[in-house]
Amino acid sequence: MFKSKKTFFIFLTFIFILMLNFSVFAAPYVNLKITYDGKTYTYNKERVYLYVNSQSVENLPLEPIILNDYTLVPARETFEKIGASVTWIKDSEQVQVVYKDMVVLMKINDVNATVNGQLFKMSIPPKLINGKTMIPVRFVSEAVGLNVEWNNSTRIINISEKLVQDTTTETTTITETTTAAPQADIIIESIDMPDSDERTFGIYANKKIEKFEQKILDDGSVAIDIYNSKHILSQTTIESVTEFVSTVTIETLDNNITRFIFKTKSSVLNNNFLSKDGKILYANFGGNPIKKIETYNDGNNDILKIHGEFAPTINITKHETSNTLNIELPNSAIVNLTEDFKDTKYIDKIDYSKSTNVVVNIEVPLKENVGFSQKTEDNMVIITIGKNIDNSNSNDNNNNNTNNNGNENNGNATSSRQFKIEKKSNTPLNIQNIRHTDSYLNKEYILTFDKDITSLISLGEHNVNNELVDKMLVEDVDGVTRITLKCKKITAVNVTEDDNYIYINMLSPKEKYKNIVVIDPGHGDSDGGTSGNGFVEKNINLDIALKLNSLFEANPDVKAYFTRLDDSYPSFNDRTNMSNEVGDMFVSIHQNASGNGSTAPNGTEVYYLKPNTSDRGITSKIMADTFQKNLLEDLGLLDRKVKTANFIVLRNNKMPAILCEIGFLSNPSDASKLSNPDFQQKVAQSLYDSTIEIFEKYPSKR
């Protein structure tokens, strides 16, 4: 067969090399059980080797997993290796990756992600696999500006930092690329301009829009960029008759990007959604998109859940003759609604056909004459329908004053939002001596008189039941009378008088105060936030907030409400609900830390997200610039600039809102300063001065 021993030796050598190569490059298989989306699967695929900056990452809690041809990697173990900070937000099942100035926010099982607040669509969503957060490696890496290389023969995926290229070479490359730029694939055919009583714009394309992103321009306008597209609109500046947008301008940018610029008139919530076929991009301004309606029976009662971008405002009336619930959701619009209707006992059907882009109207005919109740939870309203349920929306503002001891001879009476106490000559009163205690975090407002006035008003509980206050409790405390208003929401109080009566006037905060700021000391209770050098963020935030509270209490011209004044934990909804209910501006206090164990990062940075222009003309961006400037001047820390980030407390705020990262607890110098009470007082003073500066430059119209 072989003509010589030499030929035979060459043949054996070739076989040996072939076998060696095969043994080197043939990756072993990973065989294990994986659980995600509530199901368990057998995973059997060739192993993927994870490298960061060409260094192998070992001892992973879960090997990289390939699903639908996309690679998912453990979030924290992967990206902290390259210096990113990875945060798991348990309540909303979100994971945030921060690398340099880039912030990527993703949600488990949701293909929509944001990069510095701009919306992107991923090919595969993050997954909780075997209890571990696994995220798409290529999307996240490229989103924060990292290189991703895949070697199919070695099964190695390598994440690395991009090298700075020579400027001349880069310019030449860009020129060549521009010359050979591909033609736009998507044609923007038209834009649907809403009527004056509507809030949603529709941008129509000839095929599915694969990628779009939103940007906030310096003047507060909202820009939406549609990639791989060109438009054929004859009119490029269009006047809008809507409440929140004055004009829409269409521009053509480089690299086949069509930009729609919405010039906003005032503070406005903006949400963008694609139609189911992806050919229509809806831009909704000033309304709460209603995303899902679901019904089911829990064994006793029917449950109706209405999901929005945030918890909808809701008005319910029951038409007794037709036995129908009429549900109205003002400032809402149905966009890409998902129906999840399961068998019910009392609900006949759900009809939302009469909804507009301003108000969602839902009619619910009932099979029997039953009651209902409602409650708000997270981003939805839950309506329970069944027997033995009292209607919770009767809006019975009981104006009759009653009390527990039955004494109705004192002449006190209530109107809708006023309680009056008849004066008597034998009990003179000076209303200037009444001590006011605004215990808003306990939903109480307390008036302490300087004497016993129970001859004018009887002890016990008096019903008030207006939209602000439920009851009024009158007590004798060490010989003086204390009146406690049990509030339904944050309430302000003015005490006035005439010749015959003293009036306790119940007001919404904006009816009493010209300037209101909501201060949010971040974290609290079991959520310690970040830490470093022996200090915990929640404690530093609270120490600064308490000092700041003292400054505001001495200023009658500005009212400050705090989301916490102790080691408690308000939810994200609690924080933003307070702000949206009463505030003119929102300031969240935080401390920073390096995500990779380095002690070097230091300095101050202030974040904003939406413009949220108020009627004063102030925007979140102007706020952020003002606070950053003053903090740098007052504290002398490193300038880490003003940035944008999709933090929940910024995303869910409707008024100008910022988040201040004062310094780094992981940096010994910053930490030493932040833990010092005198330095904390400087921080508080700077935050106070910045707030006063904003209110002076942008005066209230109230």
DSSP 453-511: -TTTS-SEEEE--SSSEEEEEEEEETTEEEEEEEESS--EEEEEE-SSEEEEEEE-HHH
- Phi-psi label, residue 405: left if phi above 0, alpha if psi -120 to 50, beta otherwise: alpha
For residue range 532-543, list pLDDT tens digits in order.
Answer: 999 999 999 999
- Closest Cα to residue 112, out of 278, 255, 347, 268? 278
**DSSP-assigned letter for residue 181:** P
The pLDDT assigned to 195 comes to 78
Please check whether residue 296 is in contact with residue 302, taking contact to mean a CB–CB distance below 8 angstroms: yes
Q: What percent of the chain has pLDDT over 70?
A: 87
pLDDT at residue 238 tops 90: yes
The pLDDT assigned to 532 comes to 93
SS3 673: helix
- Span 116-132, mean pLDDT? 83
For residue range 304-339, list pLDDT tens digits in order.
Answer: 999 987 677 788 888 867 889 999 887 788 877 889
Cα 263 to Cα 203, 224, 242: the distances in Å are 16, 12, 11
The pLDDT assigned to 407 comes to 32
Q: Within 13 Å, how many C-alpha atoms sit on residue 77's CB side?
A: 17
d(CA 245, CA 262): 6
Q: Is residue 58 among the annotated active site residues?
A: no
Highest mean pLDDT among 165-179, 285-299, 423-437: 423-437
Please check whether residue 124 is in contact with residue 72, taking contact to mean a CB–CB distance below 8 angstroms: yes
Chain-centroid distance of CA 261 in Å reads 23
Tell me the Cα Rg of the chain.
Answer: 31
- Closest Cα to residue 410, out of 459, 445, 449? 459
Q: What percent of the chain has pLDDT over 90?
A: 45
Confidence class for position 211, pLDDT limits 50, 70, 90: confident
- Bridge partner residues of 437 (DSSP): 446
Select the more confidently predicted residue: 67 or 409.
67
SS3 102: strand
- Beta carbons within 8 Å of 26's beta carbon, 6+ residues apart: none
Confidence class for position 177, pLDDT limits 50, 70, 90: very low
Cα 400 to Cα 146, 153, 412, 463, 504: the distances in Å are 68, 83, 10, 8, 15
The pLDDT assigned to 4 comes to 56
pLDDT at residue 615 tops 50: yes
d(CA 124, CA 38): 17
For residue range 618-661, list pLDDT tens digits in order.
Answer: 899 999 999 999 999 999 999 999 998 888 899 889 889 999 99
d(CA 392, CA 375): 9
Instruction: Name the active-site residue from 161, 444, 661, 693.
Output: 661
DSSP 13-35: HHHHHHHHHHHHHSPPEEEEEEE
- Closest Cα to residue 519, out of 267, 688, 268? 688
- Span 79-84, mean pLDDT? 87
- Beta carbons within 8 Å of 254's beta carbon, 6+ residues apart: 178
pTM (global) more than 0.85: no
Q: Mean pLDDT, the chain, as a whole number?
A: 84
Q: Residue 10: in which H helix or E strand, if any? A: helix 5-25
The pLDDT assigned to 268 comes to 62
Confidence class for position 3, pLDDT limits 50, 70, 90: low
Cα 325 to Cα 118, 311, 315, 358, 377: the distances in Å are 39, 19, 10, 20, 20
- Beta carbons within 8 Å of 51's beta carbon, 6+ residues apart: 57, 156, 157, 158, 159
